[in-house]
Structure 1
């Protein structure tokens, strides 16, 4: 992986300082998925190398810093082994699942052994997109970053959620927790209704492993969705799906993050009840990552 660039090292120091000043817990992940097209055996070695760097950089610094592991989804047996090592030996919270870049959607049965192992370990899966590979979310005709970035996260997450629901991932692995990161949550009511309609008309034939309405899986408390601090439709999402599935994520250290302002923004919203704000800012994240209560700040 090589030495960290100076900017990344500075960002890591700043994150540690945030935690030292009592700003909750932090979850770190490598935001760059392993690319398709590499030899499968090399992908496993690369995942082990990058996964081994996270404990050195973060997990040994503070018990309040956690991480999820980068897995070689292109080599499922190696991915299962790396997930087991990351959770059982390195103390990570789960796995990073790339919403963009794989040949197959994340719900495809080829990847189900990874989800079976994650459920067995009591860990979670964090689904996250990227602007790399715009052809994966229908944006390859655009030539401006603003257009590609607008589409990337929500469209990629819609694609992956659709595949996971209709291919039976939450049905087969009912204890598995899956987080959908950095795409907001305002699209959920619309997409939930659309999936319910398709399921009612074609589910028995084309999605036999989806044995309930998609909306029932979304309300199960095992699928989680990140909310933006200034996202105006959060109250409507809470009304339609409840407040047990929405969580806060800082998006540090990405260039467009609004931390710590977005914490204050969520904590002071008058269109959300105090209990809902507490769930979004703390309780739901703790359940998703299976974290113990945060130690007191001293």
Structure 2
């Protein structure tokens, strides 16, 4: 089990509008949410904590996920974040309320798969959720099923593949068994009359184009949805309400500078302050050069 990482020292006099937005995920998947946030909030700075030491969270127990999530949230809070996005469906499903209870003075936004809009827009009365086992078993998703899918008589097909997250983390090589299984499952969804597919893990939007290409090639008639844009809109609303939006032009949108570091080591404060995205990994043995390549590949696709 991971231990608490050393947070970035924050100044007690820092203004909330210039404080960073914190993002947490077990790995790089939360970068899909970051891209939506940056699109809607280009003047903000972002501090990302990737728990690469313990990725993936999907197969872990609820107790483990709660403990690891609080470690990450503690780090982001102590690093001076004005708002935190738990950009991990598994962590949100099991630990969102726990984190909010511990830090009631800081807005914490969690993710839930975009099942509600899928249910409301389904014509076939059959939708699918592709997510980790932890998310599929979690309270947040199943509350949406109880509150919206069951009353609307919409069948929700749940499916998970434990290899999808590692596949994304590895750069999504096409010559592997994982994409072949995914292609086969898309055909199964179509046979089950599924007309909306919900990508219920932040890693999954990175293979959205692959999925949509397969759907088009096979004429499967399935719409693909995820919650990234809705999360970014929610963050923007919360910052507006608290008057904590970053000043316009604080960060040049054309200069997306990136800082990569280990969460438990000293960092270059000047480079950190000048970075649009500061990305920290919890694995002390992680090769930062390789991490940088992966992060750059995902955010500049």
- TM-score bracket, normalised by the shorter chain, equals 0.3 to 0.5
Q: Which has the higher contact order (CA 8 A, sep 6+)?
A: 2
Structure number with higher helix proportion:
1
How does the TM-score come out when normalised to structure 1?
0.37
How does the TM-score come out when normalised to structure 2?
0.37
